[in-house]
Structure 1
Amino acid sequence: MTKKRIDKFGKTFEYLKDPETREREMGQSLLTVDGAIFQGIPFEDMDWKNIVFKNCDFFGNYDIGPNTQNNVRYEDCRFSGILSFGKTHNVRFLRCAWVGAPVMFAEKGSTDTVFESCTFAGKSPNPNQQGGVGSHGDAEFIDCYAKWFSLVGDASLTLRKCECEGASIETDSEANSGDDFLSSKVVIQQSKLRGYFDMRATSLHSLSIQDTVIERFDISRSTVKQSVVIERVKGGYLNMYPQHADSLAVRNSQLYGNDNKIFSAYAGSFRTIEIDNVTFGGGTNYPPVVVAGGFSKISESRISHVSENIRIKNSRIPYLASDYLNTPFFQIVNCEIDDLDLSNGRVENLEIQGNLIRRGVNFSNTQVKQSRIQPLTKAQVKLDGSNIRLN
């Protein structure tokens, strides 16, 4: 298809530049723009509504900057450069492509903005050379492919049936917007996150990942106001070391490790932790599953964080490292564990019941107030410096 510059489109060009004239002459009728090249001609501060752009190219820096877009659809379009979508409502991008390192966002307050069957192809794995597309309001990505790209949703962000490779998520932060910054609700469903998926140092309201394949996922240094929920996930390595989050739940999942790591959760960051029906790792040279921390390794007088309760149930864990815990309640029930490290902890109520523990348990230097511990042989247990008494 031969495309031509938008200024060669006569009345259509005039209507895009002057929406008031368009409304006087054609009312609220749908305007279709097919096969246009937008480059070198500014479109700024107008209100676009009831428009379909088909097979159009949007190139350039700061050329496109409508004030608002309402009921606008982009089909099979290409984008490159630094452009703005304006404040959007009911805006759809269908089978569109972003190549290189474009920067394009809908503005704060945008709602119902959807990218479907789109491609985001970055030019480098270097985060400083990657593009970013999304919304400073709500954004939804459905059946999209992103490689070396940042997907943005400051108020909410949904990835559904997407495939990402070396991609990342970005959200609003206090550094960007001050004290009233937005905390994004992030939902990832039925997707494939290949390579390293980066959510480090994000500020979230909540995070939910369901029915997704993950190779390496990282939320270290992030803050989450409410819950982190991971369900029916198959993957490699999850780094759950945020600065703060309310709760963590991992359920009905299989995590087999990546780069000699499987799962790391800083217990002191979460008010509650629940792990239920999860299979971790396998084989003989297995790395630890880490659910640990909260009691300082530097000094017994330093207690950095206290979690409310930690529950691990119905799971297969070759090596569970839960040392230096500081929690009122810690429970391990109905699990298969080869090696268990519960050393150097402060636990008010410790329950270990109904588990198959194949090798050793290290209770060294752990202090408890109450405990219910299943029968263990003396050869299995290390108790040096601990007040735990076995039944």
Structure 2
Amino acid sequence: MAGCKLQSVVIQDTNIDFLDMRDAEIAGNVLVERVRGGYLNASAKSMGKLTMSQCQIFGKRRNFSFEIGMDSADEVLLDQCNFGSDLNLAVGLGAGRPLSPEEWSKAPNNRYSLIRNCVLPTVDASWLESRHLRLESNTIESLDISNSRIEKLEVVNNRVNLGVNLENTRVKESTIQPLAKGQAKLDGSNIRLN
């Protein structure tokens, strides 16, 4: 599906080894439910809302099991998905590379992203743009939200086994759950922990 122009995408009750929607233009929404499989790249050039629920994605491509540039979607919901706990695998949510000053949006396209009740290995949300990002009730091995621009950031009721990297991240408002001493990296960030 890479580079395609589509109205919408619905994938349900399916086993998939490899799915690539990179650079697709999707006018409407994408729904992925009860899918088991390998690598999934949902980094479309543009889409309405991406909803993924009750999926098990354990594949590997360039050390990722799942990738999406969240700034390409109006909204993102990842609910009750299992991406495993292998620290050699990452779930990529941000740009995946440093952004130059002129690449940052004045108003991010991504209005709201919610990740809840998921099992995640290394979460790479670095260089992310969003108006509102909420991570709620997940089990996460390692969380990287560094170098991001997020208007409202909420990290609540998660079990984070290793570190939380918030270095150089700028927010207007944040709610960050209590973290173990030394677990959070905050250098260059305007985030303050309670």
TM bin (shorter chain) = over 0.9
- 1:289 lines up with 2:77 in the alignment: no
Q: Which runs of 5+ in 1 are unaligned?
A: 1-198
Q: Secondary structure at the match of 1:378?
A: coil
- 1:303 lines up with 2:104 in the alignment: yes
- How far 1:200 moved relative to its partner? 1.3
**8 Å Cα contact 1:215-1:258 kept in structure 2:** no
**8 Å Cα contact 1:262-1:280 kept in structure 2:** yes
Residue 239 of structure 1 aligns with which residue? 41
- How far 1:286 moved relative to its partner? 2.5
Residue 172 of structure 2 aligns with which residue? 369
Describe how 1:210-225 pairs up with structure 2 within 5 A: 210-225=12-27
Distance 1:313 1:384 in 2: 27
Describe how 1:1-391 pairs up with structure 2 within 5 A: 199-259=1-61, 260-283=63-86, 285-293=87-95, 297-304=98-105, 305-391=108-194
Distance 2:33 2:70 in 1: 19
Total equivalences in the alignment:
191
Q: Residue 329 of structure 1 aligns to which amino acid in structure 2?
A: H
Q: Secondary structure at the match of 1:275?
A: strand
The C-alpha deviation readout for 1:264-318, integer Å capped at 9, x for no partner, is 00111101111000000333x4211011139x82423432553101110000001
**8 Å Cα contact 2:36-2:57 kept in structure 1:** yes
**8 Å Cα contact 1:256-1:282 kept in structure 2:** no
Alpha-carbon spacing, 1:368–1:246, altered in 2? closer, same or farther (3 Å) = same
**8 Å Cα contact 1:323-1:345 kept in structure 2:** yes
Higher relative contact order (CA 8 A, sep 6+): 2
Q: Secondary structure at the match of 2:182?
A: helix
Distance 2:71 2:130 in 1: 9
Higher percent of residues as strand: 1
**8 Å Cα contact 1:329-1:347 kept in structure 2:** yes
Residue 22 of structure 1 aligns with which residue? none
Q: Residue 299 of structure 1 aligns to which amino acid in structure 2?
A: S
Distance 1:308 1:323 in 2: 17
Q: Secondary structure at the match of 1:337?
A: strand
Distance 1:348 1:258 in 2: 31
Distance 1:261 1:297 in 2: 18
Q: Which runs of 5+ in 2 are unaligned?
A: none
Distance 1:235 1:344 in 2: 31
CA RMSD between the two structures? 1.5
Alpha-carbon spacing, 1:223–1:365, altered in 2? closer, same or farther (3 Å) = same
**8 Å Cα contact 1:353-1:373 kept in structure 2:** yes
Q: Secondary structure at the match of 1:278?
A: coil
- How far 1:258 moved relative to its partner? 2.9
Identity across aligned pairs (percent)? 36
Distance 2:173 2:60 in 1: 37
Higher percent of residues as helix: 1
Alpha-carbon spacing, 1:325–1:298, altered in 2? closer, same or farther (3 Å) = closer
Distance 1:301 1:362 in 2: 24
